[in-house]
Amino acid sequence: MGLLEQIKKPNAKAFTHSGKFHADDVFSSALLLYLNPQITITRGNRVPEGYDGIVFDIGRGQYDHHQRDSRVRENGVPYAAFGLLWEELGGEILGGTLAQRFDEEFVQPLDNNDNTGEKNELASLIGNFNPVWDAQNQKIYDKSKLTAGQKECGLTGEFLHAVRIAGLILENKFARYRADARADEKIDQVLAMQETQGGDARILVLPEFVPCQKRLKETDIAFVIFPSNRGGYCIQPQKKPDSMNYKCSFPKQWLGLENEELQEATGLASAGFCHKGGFLMTVGDEADAIRACEISLEEYEQKPVIVCLWDAGEAQETKNCEREETEQLLRQIPDMTDAQICHMTLPLLPDLEEQGVYAEVAMEKEDWKTYIKDFVKQILEYKPEAVYVTADLFAAYPVVHALRKKHMPVLMRAKKEGKTRIVRLPSGS
């Protein structure tokens, strides 16, 4: 009998460990209950002898991961119970392609947290439903509200509440993934229809709002127009692949204006609002929306920018020579021939508290974070396509880490087979 058949059969049952619960056993339980709300889940210290139900996160069986020969994915992320169950059940819920994506984006971070302790906010939130250390003096969950069957199965109010929350998260996530798939299908239909019509191929007009930014990143579509739920139309510029910047931006003089001021600046009678951040504009009618995009495309001349970060202590002669060579290399990157190269010096080494050869930064933690944050803010003011780094590791690492958290592409120099290459740091590094 397959796992899904076991879950859906009458009087289905499952067993997991008792004591402190984690996101792994909680989401595993929520997954089983999603497929069969009537399944009986029991918690205990040891699997009962001869138990014929599903056993997970305990017992060193097929859906446990505490044994020495526990399984690891090809990408190196170890399986936990949730991942082992999802491997068999995901395709039944979302289909193969979406199930794989869900594993990569949602399941693997939780599996990795359970196996390695790597920080995960969702896992922490679920773990916080466990009783506090002095729970005997606190009455958060009334045990009298548990049924006799729940008590017999070793369930607690805290565990049941965590599983309910996890179940809601799964239901919402599944609905979102399915909706994203429907959105991609809808966008494909609109794109196919647009090919048969006239007009600028860089402007896409949708009959209704459909989430499409990811789907359109690799296309030439620069603007999307769709009806607003407040009346009129919204215009959204689309971002470049692997960039924080737009393929085309609204003219700077439009940003932050609304109504009469925006109408005067644009020459469009129904112009209503242009966000100061440049990510949204509203107009009253479709023709003005299209014209706003056309004007933006006509006026847009911005060159791509690459920011280069250098050590503060380099000799000027060395700097000039290396910078010239670096600029030549950077301009060989695809679409960067005319790039504007902006040079910045990394922050100076702060005061240190020294103990012989060992030293620590003298700044308080919050001051250090602000110090790095302010420098990164200066970098981002250039709106670069990427940041090139060649510097001392101590000076560069905190800045690179902050840039990666903002999904800013970071470039470094490397040699392979004697040839110099400009290499982009992979995602997640």
What the block records as the tokens of 173 is: 């996530």
CA distances from 325 to 360, 384, 420 (A): 35, 20, 11
Beta bridge partners of 227: 233
Q: What is the pLDDT of residues 47-66, one digit of tens each?
A: 999 999 999 999 999 999 99
Q: DSSP of 35-92, one letter per residue?
A: H-TT-EEEEESSPPTT--SEEBSSTTSTB---STT--B-TTSPBP-HHHHHHHHHHHH
pLDDT at position 263, please?
A: 98
Nearest to 103 by CA among 85, 117, 118, 120: 85
Cβ of 20: how many Cβ atoms within 10 Å? 11
Domains of the chain listed by start with CATH number: 3-177 (no CATH), 198-299 (no CATH), 305-424 (3.40.50)
Q: Return all residues near 282 (Cβ < 8 A) that are at least 6 apart.
A: 228, 230, 232, 233, 234, 235, 271, 272, 273, 274
- Beta strands 410-416 and 419-424: pairing type? antiparallel
3-state secondary structure of 378: helix
Nearest to 109 by CA among 61, 87, 77, 76: 77
Q: State the chain's maximal CA–CA distance in angstroms.
A: 81
Give the mean pLDDT per block of 10 residues along the chain (429 residues): 93 97 98 98 96 96 94 96 98 97 98 96 97 75 82 94 98 98 95 86 96 92 97 96 92 97 98 97 97 97 92 66 89 92 89 93 93 95 94 87 92 89 80
Rg of the chain over all Cα atoms, to the nearest angstrom = 28
Residues 31 and 170: their CA atoms lie apart, in Å, by 8
What the block records as the tokens of 257 is: 């204006």
Q: What is the pLDDT of residues 149-199, one digit of tens each?
A: 999 999 999 999 999 999 999 999 999 999 999 999 999 999 999 888 878
What the block records as the tokens of 119 is: 């920080």
What the block records as the tokens of 47 is: 């699997």
